[in-house]
Amino acid sequence: MARAATTSDVFNAIAEPRRREILTLLRAGERPVAEVAEELAMPQPGVSKHLRVLREVGLVRDRKAGKQRVYGLDARGLRAVHEWTGGFEQFWSESFDRLDAYVQELKQERQGES
């Protein structure tokens, strides 16, 4: 089966590590392209390409501020990812419950040794 184009699928868009880095950076607030490029030590044209993909899948928004283009996170685009990963939450909860039970067991054993 052919993969969906990164420009139409959020999952494919965020599969690229640099795009995830950009999203993480934008969590702190809007930034101009040049600042994103400097922060990630990437050439500005490369950052612009990644930002274009992220914009096309609805994960970032942009606006013109003078001569600069400023980008900000649009986390609403992550809803599909959140909903999908939420289906695995029971596994995480069960793992934490088992870990908690184990820690409690260890504490009881140590108290018994004292």
Query: For residue range 14-72, what is the model confidence (pLDDT) as tens digits?
Result: 999 999 999 999 999 999 999 999 999 999 999 999 999 999 999 999 999 999 999 99
- Map residue 8 onto helix, strand or coil: coil
How many whole angstroms separate alpha carbon 105 and alpha carbon 55?
50
Query: For residue range 88-101, what is the model confidence (pLDDT) as tens digits?
Result: 877 777 778 788 88
How many whole angstroms separate alpha carbon 48 and alpha carbon 50?
5
Q: What is the pLDDT of residue 40?
A: 96
Locate the domains of the chain by residue range. 10-113
Q: What is the pLDDT of residue 86?
A: 83
Question: 1 pLDDT band (50/70/90 cuts)?
Answer: very low
Q: What is the second-level CATH architecture of the domain 10-113?
A: Orthogonal Bundle (1.10)
